[in-house]
Amino acid sequence: MQRALLVSRLATVGLALVLLALSGFTVWGGALTESVARQAQVAVQRSDFFQQARYAVTLESAQEHAYAEELDVTRLARFDQAVRHARYALNAASRTGDGPNRAVVHSLLALNNRYVATFRRLVAATRRGDLAHSAVIEATDLDPLAEMMEAKVGQAALVEWRTANRRLRDLAQTDASVRTSAIIVFTIGLTLLALFAFVLRTYRQRVMRAEVAYLAQVALSDYLTGLGNHRAF
């Protein structure tokens, strides 16, 4: 009787522990997948910002060359628009990045500021009619700055693209691992639940049969002597 009660209680505790473990695994798997997904999302956003900055920097250079060749003032507005776009994209990338990433962005912003200031010098020279000086500024200052800036932003965009792809692969692997682990864990958990439920039911039935037998014995025997009473005959 006592043993059956003990086993029944242990089986109940086992059921509770299995349910708790399954709930904990579900929470852990969801949290892990969410964390990796968030990292992948940030990496993709940062890569997209660097690609936008790369495009804007290329557009800056194109508008600068077009203005230097055509002296078309409409190119100035397009150049300023490209500058705003580049700065917006770089600042957005900085907000989503870490320390090394922000250092790269700050370096690119400083380089872009130098490029813009040098272009303003070229514009001032052309407005004065000093085309020879503007040609020197373009050849000796603007072109090297543009090449350096395009190379640096292109390299940064490539690094972030690779990082984003790695994060996406990590997300796919994590999701697959969690799914596989979930199948294994829940299979084991359900098997243990069935086992503990079977043990609990079996020993409860034994306890009930023992109680029924004890009550029958009490009903058919005398309380003081233990001998059969009139119901036993």
CA distance 166 to 177: 16
pLDDT attached to residue 71: 79
Residue 193 counted as domain residue:
yes
Residue 224 counted as domain residue:
no
Residue 233 counted as domain residue:
no
CA distance 28 to 177: 13
pLDDT attached to residue 101: 80
Q: For the domain that residue 90 is a member of, what is the CATH number?
A: 1.20.120.1730
Residue 146 counted as domain residue:
yes
**Total Cβ atoms within 10 A of residue 81:** 14
CA distance 99 to 96: 10
Q: pLDDT tens digits for the chain (233 residues)?
A: 556 556 556 666 666 776 777 778 788 888 888 888 888 888 888 889 989 999 999 999 999 888 888 878 888 999 999 999 999 999 998 888 777 788 888 999 999 999 999 999 999 998 888 888 888 988 999 899 989 988 998 898 888 888 888 888 888 888 888 888 878 877 877 777 777 677 767 766 766 776 666 666 655 565 555 555 544 45
Please say whether the beta carbons of 32 and 174 come within 8 A.
Answer: yes
pLDDT attached to residue 70: 80
Residue 135 counted as domain residue:
yes
Residue 172 counted as domain residue:
yes
Domain count, the chain: 1
Task: Enter the pTM of the model.
Answer: 0.70
Residue 227 counted as domain residue:
no
> Which residue from 217, 50, 67, 73 is spatially nearest to 149, judged by alpha carbons?
50
Residue 79 counted as domain residue:
yes
Owning domain of residue 73? 2-215
